[in-house]
Structure 1
């Protein structure tokens, strides 16, 4: 929004929370796409995978993909720092997503009613004014741009399973059921080329009809 001046305190509060979650959704979408690019997934494969992985685990996988990529040491260190920086923003996201919030009289911004319920039990208030919210929006937007740059660099470097390092650690090629089926098909073709008789059918095994 261009200006909050015309909004009353309640509308402003809701607008700020809504904008925060919109910015976060854009960031997480970019993280999902970076993950899919790193693992050479199709769009729908990326969609299914990312829908079942927690955000922190996505960052762990993305960190591993950066490690496998053929980046220079200083580039790798910088990209790892970019990913680690998202954890700080994730703390704010959890505040917004999991705690009651609302406007307080004579305070233009958002007040979150947070709690601690583990080793100590405490109820707290955390207030974000307009400026603090705008700073957070800019931080998330900047992080989104950084992840997009990382994703582009990984694509250029053939990151994930396409890198030479990844091939050394985990050779590329079919695996699992795909490998088994290819081996079975190859075995059948090889037998025909060698002149081996085809496998007996039920009819051959019983001598056919009487």
Structure 2
């Protein structure tokens, strides 16, 4: 009995070390876009570095948000429950890049001219929509800790459904921002549609079908 318990503990420790290594690798991978952007700007490879930095930080915010949304389907497909432990890190990096995107716009484009910023937020729909998306992500980032999960209990899951309107608004913001070639925004929109469809199926349609098909007792 003791040998079995000891073996189980040893196996759990191995899995925990493996997860930590993957999380450290993921952390490094998520920071690579910043290194790449800094290199391209410093080397003079970009003709319009301000526009490049603003756009690329926004794009990477989308990439990491979509990666976080993919975790649940991947966990369902693979059965690897530890995947859920990477979702928080991806979500936080998405918020981090969204904040960088916002700060770069305020600093590099508007030079913190708050009157001009206010005019943009009120008068330019894609700025308004992008700002609302970042605001919706804020409570998700703040309540991402284990302590908040314990405090909010079931309400934590309900609160974190805000990720879906934030994702929809982010794609809408992207569509309005690019104006001409909307190929990339459409790719993100289609992928988001598939992810939302999977959520609706898993949370609504599948349980309903299970109840309908269960034998009457």
TM-score calculated relative to the size of structure 2: 0.35
Ranked by relative contact order (alpha carbons within 8 Å, sequence separation 6 or more), the top structure is 1
TM-score calculated relative to the size of structure 1: 0.36
Name whichever structure is richer in strand by fraction.
1
Name whichever structure is richer in helix by fraction.
2
The structure with more radius of gyration: 1
